[in-house]
Structure 1
Amino acid sequence: MQANLIPQLAALVAMLPLTAAAVAARLGRNLLLWLLLAAALVGPAALVASQISAGWQPGLSANLWAGVAATLLAFAALCLIRPGAYRLGALLLPYLALSAVLAIAFSSAPNAEGPVILTGTWFSLHVVLAVASYATLTLAAIAGTAVLLQERALKRRAMPGWTGRTLPPLAEAEAMQIRLLTWSAGLMAAALATGAANEVIETGQILALTHKILLAFLAFALIVALLLLHHRTGIRGRHAARWLLAGYLLLLLAYPGVKFVKDVLIG
């Protein structure tokens, strides 16, 4: 992985202009946004494509980069659908830049599982759905964080500061939070189902209760419970955001968290 250090640094540098513009509230839904977003997406996407050319890489660094690339792609799609979604970039892009820095820092960690060749439709589909669900839930968690910050600013009756100038309005952030959460639940259900199908095909057994699977199921159960509560009781605002962030934390523990234990602590 050390030989891949220069492409990783290039991918990180490609993300920095968009990150700086978003944090400084210099973005709008205009040509500058799409140019900077395209530049930020090309670097991580090309890096991930080169990494998986010889097979899916289950190591921590490769998984972090896959999450960054998928989340940037999901963010671009969201910006196309919802005009104000670009304002989530002020929180999202520093988080993704930090993920990229961690991916570079852990690039020398041993890959505990080794490369996995993408064989079989179910396995390939499972990988795509799992990464897509992670990316979508990341966006939902960012929207939830925006809800928390906007509610805090309204409570304090503060003059429009960085939060008011940069983040989406509270009502819009709440709407995106629920919509993204719904998409995440659907994608996670499909990812878990295809993972179980692949396990049955490969080993003849249903999913084994590993730490990763258990945490993923707990995250999925929490997300579904939150959606049901929202439908039945109308739970929203900071209460819904806190539940959402708890579910995202469980998915973080299941996805890169388990990789960190295997590759860094044990490896």
Structure 2
Amino acid sequence: MQALPLAIMAFVLYLGAASWQGLTLMRRVPPRAALVRMLGLMGLLFHVPVAAKLLGQTPGLLPGLSASAVIVTAVMVFLLLTVSLAKPVLNIAVGLFPLSGVALLIAVGLPSPAGSGGMTPGIALHAISSALAFGVLVIAAMQAVLLGVQNQALRHHHTRGVVQALPPLTTMERLLFELIWAGMILLTLSIVSGFVFLDSMFAQHLAHKTILSLAAWVIFAILLISHHILGWRGMRAVRWTLGGCAVLLIAYFGTKFVLEVLLRG
């Protein structure tokens, strides 16, 4: 089956799930976590074959821009659906699901070079840990956005609407740092496996990604250490989380976009 119909179906299902959860946040409809998860899972079932197809068209050792975007968003959706079974993170679906659907549609429309470059187990470990690290830390960034909205609303004594639908502030902050810790462990594994299994992490096409990934690691490390020692929290934690995620976003996709779209065009 062609990728475009699958991408459209995934987008529609993701949009339906995000819309219901968004209306829940606005207290327009009752919470239906099972419905949101079911629609999200159905969207993921259409999403995964597209990711597999694009990965199979990867000519080099590591996935290109289109494959990376589709794989990473699939990982993020899977992580969110899984974590939501134990933690109150389903509100992140309001932003994550539409983002995944749009990324899927865009990736299907981008040209993909033919060919297949088999990954060694070591490179596969690096690719998987990179996708998981990015996925967890982007979810953390979305959690930070919700935390920032909640923090600002409570600071101005706005206790209705979205704030009422969110978990308590202490729970939101604890979830944020749990996500950052998990993302940091995976990011460390990604960086170490890259140095071990790739020929040169500072080769011409990987230098920017390596330096920016290390910079993001330092940002998140400073945040975690300062939270533990100095008690950083609230809006300061939100800003550092978003800053670290922005650097990681440029590391993962910025250089790929420049090399595969701008320079090739």
With the length of structure 1 as denominator, give the TM-score of the two structures. Answer: 0.86
Report what 1:77 is aligned to: 82
Structure 2: 5+ residue stretches without partners: none
| CA shift for structure 1 position 233 | 0.7
1:87 match: 91
Deviation, structure 1 residue 146: 1.0
1:51 counterpart = 2:54: yes
Partner of residue 65, structure 1: 70
Check conservation: 2:147, 2:173, Cα contact below 8 A.
yes
**C-alpha deviation, 1:232, in angstroms:** 0.7
- Structure 1: 4+ residue segments shifted above 4 A: 54-57
Tell me by how many angstroms 1:86 deviates: 1.7
- How far residue 238 of structure 1 moved from its aligned partner, in angstroms, is 0.8
Distance in 1 (CA, whole Å) between partners of 2:240 and 2:30 is: 30
Per-residue CA deviations over 1:108-134 (Å, capped at 9, x if unaligned) read 44458x755233110011111000001
The answer to whether the 8 Å contact 1:59/1:110 transfers is: no
Change (3 A) 1:8 1:40: closer
What is the aligned length? Answer: 255
Q: Secondary structure at the match of 2:180?
A: helix
Aligned mate of 1:243, from 240, 260, 263? 240
Moved more, 53-62 or 188-197: 53-62
Q: Answer with 171-180 or 55-64: which moved more.
A: 55-64
**Cα displacement (A) at 1:172:** 1.6
Cα drift, residue 148 of structure 1: 0.6
Change (3 A) 1:53 1:105: closer
Measure how far apart 1:30 and its partner are.
4.5
Query: Which position in structure 1 is the counterpart of 2:37?
Result: 34
Amino acid of the structure 2 residue aligned with 1:18: A
TM-score under structure 2 length normalisation: 0.87
More helix by percentage: 1
For structure 1, list consecutive stretches of 5 or more residues without a partner in the other structure: none
Amino acid of the structure 1 residue aligned with 2:105: I
1:58-113 Cα offsets, whole Å, 9 max, x none, are 2322221112100011101211221x2223323433xxx2353244235444458x
User: What is the aligned-residue identity percentage?
Assistant: 26
C-alpha distance in structure 1 between counterparts of 2:133 and 2:69, whole Å = 14
Larger mean CA deviation between 30-39 and 69-78 belongs to: 30-39
The alignment yields a C-alpha RMSD, in angstroms, of 2.3
Query: Of residues 210, 213, 225 in structure 2, which corresponds to 1:213?
Result: 210
